[in-house]
Amino acid sequence: MSSAFSIALSSLQAESEAINTTGQNLANINTTGYKGSEVAFRDLVYANLGSTGSFGMGVTGPTDHQIFSQGSLISSTSPWAGAIQGNGFFMLKGSSGQAMYTRDGNFALSNEGVLQTMTGAKVQGWTATSNGIDTAAAPSDIVVDQAATVSPQATSNLSFTVNLDAAGDAATGSGNISVPAQVTDSLGNTHILTVSFVQSTTAPNSWSYNVTIPTSDLSSGTGAIASGTLAFNPDGTIASTSPSSVPLNVTNLADGANNLSISWNLQGSTGNSLLTQYAQKSSYGSLVADGNQAGILSNVGLGDNGQIVASFSNGQKKTIGQIALASFRNQDSLQSIGNNDYAATINTALPSIGAPQTGDRGTVVAGALEGSNVDIATQFTNLITFQRGYQASSRVITTETTMFQDLLNVIR
């Protein structure tokens, strides 16, 4: 009978540890990126009793293994919040340089512009250089240059759509139209080019154009840049003999900028003409001019797929960094080390490192955080089950104690 005590005690210990695991899960039900644990019981070694068979010795201490199922995505207003949807972990570097991993994407910038977790671990990835972002290189700290600027770029291409009224009265110029087009010079100053279309009074389906710039923008010259004629087919399309682009060269800018060399494109990217002559009121739209003014950094944050996107005062956006993800063939072997972080163990396979949505790695959703995958209903059910097991084992001890007492009474 004495073995019943040890068997029951092993059960009490095991059920108590299982309740601890359940309590840990419930305590972290609102922890970002937390992965709940399941308890596995194993019977204790058997004692071989020879021909009479074997006898169980109770239950060993339960083992916990974490369940890395997907947690729900929770919206966040932080510009640095990101949730992994699918496989993978964010890569971190601890204060002593140790490699760590997490599913908690609640990041922030340090005062030095280093992307890090709320506990100070540095997020690993790639920072853009003049050659772009090289995701084939080894990941390192992501550093945001908070004094970043964008240099001005002069306009080199100009395009817009325009319809010239085929029913316009050439004598009165009712179909004539002027299109203002803003361009940028090498210093970042802007200028307005005026493209004027005038219907011919002598040749049907023919229009003349001229391009001018205000003389106040020039140190010398009349402001005339280019002129020519456009011929249209009877169906309103531009004649095939017309050029695909018109060169616009602006010299002697008063601000001292370099001369402008602009290509006014008459065809779109698919080769279709941007100019038509239909019996509708003359109009223009879809004005596109490349180049940009100088700009300073106005905002920076995490974009989808783990990109670090910077916005500048001139309206431009640039990708200046990329967060790395690491995936493991046996992620269950990772060891929780607190602060929502994991570390590799001796049994952990080497990580597969790359950008989100490459290989077996999932995507990073900006403006969201991954919630805990703990299901409260399951945990409450486990609590009841473990409590019943604990209660039943305590009854074994009570029964065994009563039997010993009865035996002592018989001896007396």
pLDDT confidence of residue 395: 85
Query: What is the reported pLDDT for 241?
Result: 56
| Cβ(253)–Cβ(260) below 8 Å | yes
**Contact yes or no for 25/374 (Cβ under 8 A):** yes
Residue 103 · residue 133 · CB < 8 Å: no
Q: What share of the chain is helix, strand, coil (3-state, %, to 5)?
A: 20, 40, 40
Q: What is the CATH number of domain 157-289?
A: 2.60.98.20
The pLDDT assigned to 222 comes to: 92
CB 186 within 8 A of CB 200: no
Q: What is the pLDDT, as a whole number, of residue 393?
A: 85
Q: Identify residue 77 by its one-letter amino acid code.
A: T
Instruction: Give the CA diameter of the chain.
Output: 138
The predicted model scores a pTM of: 0.79
> How far is the CA of 2 from the CAs of 7, 15, 125, 143, 204, in angstroms?
9, 21, 61, 66, 116
Amino acid at 154: A
What's the CA gap between 125 and 325, in Å, rounded?
8
Query: For residue 249, what are the β-bridge partners?
Result: 261
Chain position carrying tokens 């100019």:
275
Tell me, what's the pLDDT at 242?
64
Distance separating alpha carbons of residues 290 and 279, to the nearest angstrom: 31
Residue ranges matching CATH 2.60.98.20 in the chain: 157-289
Both tokens assigned to 385: 């089950």
Question: Can you tell me the distance from the alpha carbon of 198 to that of 227, in angstroms, rounded to the nearest whole number?
Answer: 11
Q: 12: which strand partners? A: none
| pLDDT computed for residue 46 by the predictor | 66
Alpha carbon distance 370, 120 (integer Å): 19
Token pair, residue 340, equals 């929502």
Give the side-chain half-sphere CA count within 13 A for 328: 21
What is d(CA 216, CA 221) in angstroms, rounded to the nearest whole number? 10
- Check residue 33 and report its DSSP letter: T
Mean pLDDT in order along the chain per 10 residues (412 residues):
77 90 95 94 70 69 89 96 97 95 96 95 94 94 92 96 95 95 96 97 93 96 93 88 84 96 90 91 95 94 94 92 97 93 96 96 97 95 92 84 78 69
With tokens 């009570």, the residue in question is 398
